[in-house]
Amino acid sequence: MHRFNQALLNFAFEIRMGLNFGPVTAGVIGTTKLFYDIWGDTVNVASRMDSTGEKGKIQVPEYVALALKDKYQFELRGEIDVKGKSRMTTYFLKANSNK
């Protein structure tokens, strides 16, 4: 991210991201202006991973880190308070495992 900022931009571009996977409800809503949207617990947790994350990092819940541990490296962040949930153990995605 730092190299990207230096090479291409005249300002500091910072991003944080939250990832999750699981079942969702999806559909087109509206009558005159239609748009596609998704809902459900999976979406809510992904949103919380983003909103409680840190700049320059991708945060995931523990079950995502466990499911992807053979392909990616993760750093334990620890437990965080997640609105609408109990405390959740989360991880930051570090890199490909190159296994």
Q: Catalytic positions, please?
A: 48, 83
40, 24 contact by CB (below 8 A): yes
Q: One-letter amino acid identity for 92?
A: F
Question: Could you tell me which of 55, 99, 50, 58 has the C-alpha nearest to residue 75?
Answer: 58
